[in-house]
């Protein structure tokens, strides 16, 4: 009787893509990304493979978090994004002394990949255009800081991982100067949502619930609910897990709750959950 054996095949370049017949409670996640094929559903089991295929953006962040926290595969669909990522108000402060004279602005020609809390701190002060200034930066409000880097003689900085660009006018930067700005993510319009739902419906892979990586209004949630209702009418029982917008900069909790209550007034669904708010986690 021959000894038992196991045959193992190594697939080069597979990038963690899963076969079409995967089973289980699978999420299909749609949203904008900075690269990768549009409206082409694919299943992944490792965050690094999602990043390798789609680089950055709401889709990458959401899908990577789901895989990491659940240990399950998910199907990802890159949507088109009619609205580009943008910048909010740029603010520079110094908690110890008077801030430098160089006015910092965001370069609108460079579109952010996602919603970020940009935090740019001057470590060693100096004059813009003269070597000596050093800095650190963060895309999560200062919770995760970069290594200290020399500005050199440059008058701009591009944070490549988030595609965020800051411009420095002539003047000085003082040690401790902190420049902050909230960015918004690229966003879909109604046509982009419709195209994504069509791609999901035709993907041919097993999935249990759908999620869109970006925030959604009550009207957009209603569009998804109508789509799910049509699937149920065909005997295809699927659900959705969606998110409303988070609080705006300077918006109080009471104002935020009142705005959500107004937007979702009268919204009723039996096929989805809608969550709201922000949370900080490591």
State pLDDT tens for residues 28-83.
999 999 999 999 999 999 999 999 999 999 999 999 999 998 899 999 999 999 99
Residue 264 token pair: 């979702």
Do 244 and 112 share a structural domain?
no
Q: Calculate the CA dihedral of residues 97, 103, 106, 107 and round it to 10 degrees.
A: -150
pTM of the model: 0.85
Do 171 and 46 share a structural domain?
no
Residue 99 token pair: 């801030």
Do 42 and 99 share a structural domain?
no
The number of angstroms, rounded, from the C-alpha of 13 to the middle of its chain's C-alpha atoms is 26
pLDDT for 249 equals 87
Where does a domain end: 156, 184, 212?
Answer: 184
Do 171 and 116 share a structural domain?
yes
Q: Give the relative orientation of helices 47-54 and 58-70 as an angle to the nearest 10 degrees.
A: 170
Number of domains in the chain: 2
**Is residue 174 pLDDT above 60, yes or no?**
yes
Do 176 and 107 share a structural domain?
yes
Q: Residues 29, 74: contact at Cβ < 8 Å? A: yes
Beta partners for residue 140, in sequence order: 117
Do 198 and 152 share a structural domain?
no
DSSP state letter for 21: T
Q: Residues 120, 178: contact at Cβ < 8 Å? A: yes
Domain encompassing residue 116: 86-184
How far apart CA 219 and CA 100 sit, in angstroms, is 45
Residue 43 token pair: 């299943």
pLDDT tens, position by position, 130-171: 999 999 999 999 999 999 999 999 999 999 999 999 999 999
């Amino acid at each position: 009787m021959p000894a038992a054996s196991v045959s193992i095949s190594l697939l080069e370049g597979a990038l963690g893509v899963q076969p079409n017949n995967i089973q289980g409670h699978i999420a299909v996640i749609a949203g904008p990304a900075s690269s990768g094929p549009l409206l082409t559903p694919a299943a992944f089991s490792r965050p690094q493979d999602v990043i390798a295929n789609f680089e950055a953006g709401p889709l990458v962040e959401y899908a990577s978090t789901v895989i990491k926290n659940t240990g399950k595969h998910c199907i990802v669909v890159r949507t088109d994004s009619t609205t580009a990522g943008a910048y909010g108000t740029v603010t520079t402060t110094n908690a110890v002394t008077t801030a430098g004279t160089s006015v910092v602005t965001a370069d609108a020609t460079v579109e952010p990949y996602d919603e970020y809390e940009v935090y740019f701190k001057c470590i060693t002060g100096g004059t813009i255009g003269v070597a000596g200034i050093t800095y650190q930066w963060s895309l999560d409000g200062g919770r995760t800081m970069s290594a200290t880097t020399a500005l050199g003689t440059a008058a701009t900085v591009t944070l490549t991982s988030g595609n965020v660009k800051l411009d420095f006018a002539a003047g000085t930067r003082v040690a401790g100067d902190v420049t902050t700005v909230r960015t918004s993510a690229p966003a879909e319009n109604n046509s982009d949502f419709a195209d994504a739902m069509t791609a999901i419906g035709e993907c041919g892979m097993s999935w249990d619930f759908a999620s869109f990586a970006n925030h959604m209004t009550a009207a957009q949630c209603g569009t998804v609910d109508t789509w799910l209702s049509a699937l149920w009418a065909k005997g295809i029982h699927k659900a959705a897990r969606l998110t409303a917008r988070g609080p705006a900069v300077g918006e109080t909790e009471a104002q935020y709750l009142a705005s959500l209550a107004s937007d979702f007034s009268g919204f009723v669904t039996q096929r989805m959950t809608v969550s709201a708010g922000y949370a900080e986690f490591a």
